[in-house]
Amino acid sequence: MIVPIETDFIRLDHLLKFMGALSTGGQAKMVIQDGLVKVNGEVCTMRGKKLRAGDCVDFEAFHYEVAKR
């Protein structure tokens, strides 16, 4: 799923919450810290990771690609 952003970046925890993969920021923080989220194919445990156009995020059955609007 394409995630269009108007800013230069979106934080990883915000993306998961914004796209509905998780319902709260607390849940996003936990799954990221538990190593359940991949950014560009590698496990990422930084919830504040800045995602820019072209970055891909995988969590469970969800796949997101960040794109500049």
Read off the pLDDT of residues 7-66 as tens digits, 9 standing for 90 and up.
Answer: 999 999 999 999 999 999 999 999 999 999 999 999 999 989 999 999 999 999 999 999
pTM, entire model:
0.92
Q: What is the structure's pLDDT at 29?
A: 94
Q: What is the structure's pLDDT at 45?
A: 97
Q: How far is CA 60 from CA 8, 43, 66, in A?
A: 26, 12, 17
> What own/partner pairs with CB < 8 Å and gap ≥ 24 does 31-40 have?
31/59, 36/60, 37/12, 39/12
The three-class DSSP label of residue 41 is: coil
Place of tokens 């919830």: 47
